[in-house]
A and B are shown apart, each in its own frame.
Chain A
Amino acid sequence: MSYRIPMGPYHPGLEEPYKLDMICEGETVQDAELHIGFNFRGIEHLAETRNYYQVIALMERVCGICSFIHTLTLCQAMEKLAGLEAPPRAKYIRVVMAELERLHSHVLWAGIAAKLMGFKTMFMTCFALREKVMDVLQAISGNRVNYSMNRVGGVNRDVEDPLALLPLLDELEREMTRTVIPIFTTSSTAISRCAGIGILTHEKAVSCAVVGPMARASGINQDLRRDAPYAAYEEMKFDVHVEPAGDVKARILVRALEILESCKILRQALTNMPPGEVSVGGDKFAFVTGTATSRVEAPRGEVMYSVSWKEGSRNPARVHVRTPTYANMPAVRWMVRGARLADTPLIQASIDPCYSCTDR
Chain B
Amino acid sequence: MTDLETIREKLGAAEPWVESRGTLWLNPGAAGVRQVTAVMNEAHARFVTITAYQLPGAEGFRLEYHWDLEGRLLGLPFTIAGNAIDSIFDLCEAADWIEREIHEEYSLDFTGREYEPLLLRKGDESGVNLREAAAKPVPAAQAAKEVAQ
Contact = CB atoms under 8 A, between A and B. Distances in A.
A169 interface: no
Contacts of B10: none
> Interface on chain A toward B: helix, strand, loop, or mixed SS?
mixed
Contacts of A291: 20-21, 23, 64
B48 A209 contact: yes
Interface residues of B, number: 36
Interface stretch (B65-73, B80-88, B107-115, B140-148): B65-73
A293 B75 contact: yes
Nearest to B96: A330
A330 B97 contact: yes
A330 B47 CA distance: 14
B94 A295 contact: no
B73 A293 contact: yes
A206 to B, nearest CB: 8
Nearest to A317: B53
B58 to A, nearest CB: 18
A33 interface: yes
Contacts of B22: 76-77, 80, 292-295
B21 A40 contact: no
A329 to B, nearest CB: 8
A302 B53 contact: no
Nearest to B134: A45
A36 B73 contact: no
B71 to A, nearest CB: 3
A228 B71 contact: yes
A73 B49 CA distance: 16
A144 interface: no
Interface in B52-107: 52-53, 64, 66, 68, 70-73, 75, 92-94, 96-98
B136 interface: no
B14 interface: no
A306 B49 CA distance: 10
Contacts of A40: 120-121
A207 B93 contact: yes
B94 A208 contact: yes
B31 interface: no
B66 A209 contact: no
B48 A45 contact: no
Contacts of A263: none
B66 A308 contact: no
A36 B46 contact: no
Given A209-B47, A228-B73, A36 B119 contact: yes
A35 interface: yes
Interface of A: 33, 35-37, 40, 42, 45, 76-77, 80-81, 206-209, 222, 224, 227-228, 290-295, 302, 304, 306, 308, 318, 320, 322, 326-327, 329-330, 359
